[in-house]
Structure 1
Amino acid sequence: MTRSRTAFLCALLALAAAGCGIRPTGVTNGGPAPSGISQGMRVYFASDSGPRGVSRPATTVDQLDDAFKLLAAGPTSGERANGLANLVPEDAGLNATADRGNVTIHTTGSFAGSPGDQSTGQLVCTLARAEVLIHGTRPDKVQVTLVGDEGRVGPYQCQQFLQG
């Protein structure tokens, strides 16, 4: 290698080692890392890929039956434009009770839930979220059973209905 080539290569390496000119800083505190589940109520609606949760951060639920009102209100126009729909029948006559993370949804109409049904997923996931917020149950401990005119189905957990 010639002397000028070596000098050029050394200058190029020194320039590359200098970087972009931004000096390093010390460690900065970005606050605590997120942990646990997201805050606030989530309502689950049907989509092409299965039930999908949408946040309702300004909404509080004081009792499980409040979750049915949120489902009945349906997705917003923007959520509908993104392919979300409410498949829970309006005539399902729903009410819910809970005992230590075991949620029972009572139906008085023609609703019959099944594990492959998105409307069942909507109910299970929305009521599971309400149970977490109201009673502080761990999300992985909530089980939801549907009881109606056509029998009993479940118990289900929300993760059974969500796509990975």
Structure 2
Amino acid sequence: MTRPGTATVCCLLAVAATGCGIRPTGVTDGGSAPSGISQGMRVYFASDSGPRGVSRPGAQLHELNGAFKLLLAGPTPEERAAGLANLLPRGEALSATSRHGKVTVNAPGRHFDPQDQSTGQLVCTIARAEVLLHGTRPDKVQVTIVGADGRAGPYQCQQFLSR
């Protein structure tokens, strides 16, 4: 190597050894990481991309059947303007019972299709209520629907949200 070549290599090595010029700092706190499930009740309505949950922050549930009242009330005007719709009839007679995360929804006279968004609305809303009321992990809630066609399910909310 020639002297100018050696000088160039040395200069490049010196520049590389000095780093990028950013001085080190102490440890910074980015805050706490998100944990657990989101707070409050969520109700699920139909949208172009499948069931979508909306928050009902002031809703107080004392039993599973209270979730049906929220669901059957339908989306707010703002939610309707955003493309959300309730595919369940307002006068629908629905009731639910739960035992260790296994929820049974009684929907007499109703035909449920697992591909239908109304089924997803029902399953996800009642599953959310089960989580809030009984502390069941969301991935452990199973919802069976008893309707005009007999029993359907068990379903999990994730089945309807991952389409």
Q: How would you bin the TM-score normalised by the shorter chain?
A: 0.7 to 0.9
TM-score, L = length of structure 2: 0.82
Q: Who is 2:67 aligned against?
A: 67
Structure 1 residue ranges without an equivalent (≥5): 1-12
Kindly indicate whether the alpha-carbon contact (under 8 Å) linking 1:49 and 1:163 is maintained by their aligned counterparts in 2: no
Distance 1:42 1:28 in 2: 34
Is it true that 1:157 corresponds to 2:125 in the alignment? no
Structure 2: how far apart are the matches of 1:69 and 1:48?
23
TM-score normalised by the chain length of structure 1: 0.82
Helix, strand or coil for the counterpart of 2:69?
helix
Q: Point out 4+ residue stretches in structure 1 off by more than 6 angstroms.
A: none
Q: List aligned pairs for 1:26-65, cutoff 5 A.
A: 26-65=26-65
State the AA in 1 paired with 2:68: F
**1:134 counterpart SS class:** helix
Question: Unaligned regions of 5+ residues in structure 2, if any?
Answer: 1-14
Count of residue pairs brought into register by the alignment = 151
- Aligned partner of 1:8 in structure 2 is none
Q: CA deviation at 1:18?
A: 5.4
- Partner residue of 1:138? 137
Is residue 2:113 matched to residue 1:123? Answer: no
For residues 83-136 of structure 1, the C-alpha deviation after alignment (integer angstroms, 9 at most, x for no partner) is 00000122431010000000000012x321121010000000000000000000
Q: 2 CA distance for matches of 1:81 and 1:106?
A: 31
* CA deviation profile, 1:21-58 (whole Å, cap 9, x unmatched): xx764323233200122111110000011100111122
Per the alignment, residue 102 of structure 1 pairs with 102
